[in-house]
Amino acid sequence: MTDICSFPDLFGIRLIEACGQRQLSITRTSLTRRPVDVAVHARARLAAVDGASEAAEGDLDELADLRAVAPPFRASEPQRAPLSRARRELSAANQELATDTPAFERCRQPVNRLRSLMADCDAAERDLEDKRQQFLSTAIGEWLGADGLPPRPAKITLGTGVCLIPEHNPLLLAKQVATLDNFSGGRFIFGVGAGWLREETQIMGGDYDHRWGQTREAILAMKELWTKDEAEFHGKYYDFPPVISFPKPLQQPHPPIYVGAMTAGNVFRRVVTYGNGWMPWLYTPEQIRDGRAMLDKFAREFGRNP
């Protein structure tokens, strides 16, 4: 703070002291007061202002502390109205339940309905499973021409002997084979053949003169469908873009494929090329032994384990 002096002929003294945003203004009009008295008076006023400023700053600090520990904001009456109304309704409902048995029963009705619906769902689920088993039995019976198949064979092996491949669409046949494999618990053997009656093969859409080539292509297409989540195939007889086919066989990579034939011919080459076994028909025991030796020979030539 600076000392202020004045002269006798001074009509007024104006002192401006900056303290934050405050200004102190002192005006004197007396000509009789000495400059020293004016300076003393000004210092006294400045000391008073400094004290007031410190007190105000203390009040501000106290106010900030009070705000820090102040209780949370309380909602206004319109904002509290829904909560208050809900509390009143809940209280009334509790009182009604305590004195009114029919009201209690009315509250139990939704619970009873829910329990009834759950029981109906359980019954519907059991009925659906029964119908599923019936459908599978019927579908398999129609495909194999058999009736009265057990719902799920326990030990026996299920197989075809044989399925004439050129007479089926591989996209549909792959699903049927996979379903049978799952239905039998992974005990399905896929016996395949190409057919021997020209008229039958042609009526069913097969190429009789090239039926074994068509069979090979169909089996390769089905292997794609069985082993890949998204499969495509492009061949002479069958051509389809990427597709998703389910179910997948239970056996991995697919059920064993047994190639059947009436005569030896090229059957052993077909077995080692795209099959897993040989299914002879009308062969003598000696012919079967000779055929097995021939099959082992071709398997070694093709790098497969006999």
- Asked whether the predicted pLDDT for residue 45 surpasses 70, the reply is no
Q: What's the whole-number mean pLDDT along residues 53-63?
A: 59
Residue 125 has pLDDT above 70, yes or no: yes
pLDDT at 287 over 80: yes
Higher-pLDDT residue of 80, 282: 282
Pairing mode, strands 188-193 and 163-164: parallel
Q: What is the pLDDT of residues 257-273, one digit of tens each?
A: 999 987 777 888 899 99
Tokens of 74: 């309380």
pLDDT interval class at 114 (50, 70, 90):
confident
Local confidence band at 304 (pLDDT 50, 70, 90 cut-offs): confident
Structure confidence at residue 27 (pLDDT): 41
Residue 198 clears pLDDT 50, i.e. is over it: yes
- Answering whether pTM is above 0.95, one says no
Q: How many beta carbons lie within 10 A of that of residue 174, not counting itself?
A: 26
- Residue 242 buriedness (CB in 10 A; 0-12 / 13-18 / 19+): exposed
- The percentage of the chain sitting over the pLDDT mark of 70, rounded to a whole number, equals 60
Q: Mean pLDDT across the stretch 202-228?
A: 96
Residue 87: which pLDDT band, with cuts at 50, 70 and 90? Answer: confident
Would you say residue 220 has pLDDT above 60?
Answer: yes
